[in-house]
């Protein structure tokens, strides 16, 4: 009987695992440090301009700007092929260092990744200007100046939206509570479902008109802004 070639039988051919590119720690730290210096310098330069933007837009724009700045910085360190991904990783590290929970930081980076690209794969304005920025220039102000007349991202419009949201929430809850209390106290004999339904209907009768008024105000302001421009 021929001996089996156990060496061949036991040979297991494994496909090579895909290479995972992990930024060097020193590169990451350098990018984060560079971003902090850029942020501090730029915020000091725009302080006197007193921009009034919605907080979410203001924060997002700064983060996209820093992404562009770190992208360029990583390229200058000799990481031209993976510089953009290194910038995203460094920005995530920076967010975590600033106190954001890791999972929230990951979701934030996913959001920024989507917002960093426009149609036809063009970079967002903040990313492009951040990439071309020089230390101590007024490039962040250039980004914000582009949106000064945009009603949708203005602080005033955001405050109007925030107030309207609170009015709908608390007003609807208060009216629902009052109706439920009134029906329970002065109209006994109704089922629990009927009482709750009355409260929900009352809340809806309050929330829907307030919502429609908010939409009307929004469209009116947008139209005025377009006419001015």
Global pTM value: 0.74
pLDDT at 152: 83
Is 110 in contact with 52 (CB distance < 8 Å)?
A: no
What CA–CA distance (Å, rounded) separates 136 from 155? 26
Of 52, 20, 84, whose CA–CA distance to 149 is shortest?
Answer: 52
Number of C-beta neighbours around residue 26 at 10 A: 9
Tell me what pLDDT residue 79 has: 81
Q: What is the DSSP string of 105-135?
A: HHHHHHHHHHHTB-GGGPBPHHHHHHHH--T
3-state secondary structure (DSSP) of residue 71: helix
CB atoms within 10 A of CB 111: 12
pLDDT for residue 7: 42
pLDDT of amino acid 6 = 44
pLDDT at residue 229 in the model: 55
What is the sign, positive or negative, of the torsion defined by CA atoms of 63, 219, 226, 120? positive
Q: CA of 56: how far to CAs of 47, 52, 60, in Å? A: 18, 12, 6
Q: How many CB atoms lie within 10 A of CB 216?
A: 10
Ramachandran angles phi, psi of 63, nearest 5°? -65, -40
Rounded to whole angstroms, the Cα distance separating 199 from 190 reads: 13
Name the residue among 23, 137, 26, 40 with its Cα closest to residue 87: 23
Determine phi and psi for 148, rounding to 5 degrees.
-55, -40
Q: Phi first, then psi: give them for residue 12, nearest 5 degrees.
A: -115, 120
For residue 65, give the nearest of 145, 5, 3, 8 by alpha carbon: 145
Cross-strand bridge partners of residue 154: 53
Mean pLDDT by 10 residues, the chain (229 residues): 43 38 73 95 93 94 96 90 93 95 96 91 93 93 92 84 89 92 83 89 91 81 63
pLDDT at 22: 53
Spatial distance between the Cα atoms of 192 and 212, rounded to a whole number of angstroms: 30
pLDDT at 23: 57
């Amino acid at each position: 009987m021929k001996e089996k070639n156990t060496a061949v039988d036991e040979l297991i051919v494994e496909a090579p695992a895909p290479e995972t590119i992990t930024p060097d720690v020193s590169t990451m730290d350098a990018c984060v440090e560079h971003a902090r210096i850029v942020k501090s310098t730029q915020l000091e330069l725009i302080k006197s301009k007193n921009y009034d933007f919605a907080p979410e837009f203001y924060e997002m724009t700064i983060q996209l700007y820093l992404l562009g700045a770190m992208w360029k910085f990583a390229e200058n360190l000799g990481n031209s092929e993976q510089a953009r991904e290194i910038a995203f990783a460094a920005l995530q590290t920076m967010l975590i260092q600033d106190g954001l929970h890791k999972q929230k930081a990951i979701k934030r980076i996913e959001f920024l990744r989507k917002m960093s690209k426009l149609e036809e794969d063009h970079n967002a304005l903040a990313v492009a200007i951040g990439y071309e920025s020089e230390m101590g220039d007024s490039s962040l102000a250039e980004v914000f100046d582009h949106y000064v007349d945009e009603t949708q991202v203005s602080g005033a419009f955001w405050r109007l939206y925030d107030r309207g949201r609170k009015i709908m929430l608390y007003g609807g809850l208060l009216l629902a509570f009052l109706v439920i209390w009134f029906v329970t106290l002065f109209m006994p004999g109704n089922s629990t479902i009927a009482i709750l339904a009355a409260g929900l209907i009352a809340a809806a009768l309050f929330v829907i008109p307030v919502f429609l008024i908010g939409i009307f105000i929004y469209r009116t302001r947008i139209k005025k802004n377009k006419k001015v421009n």
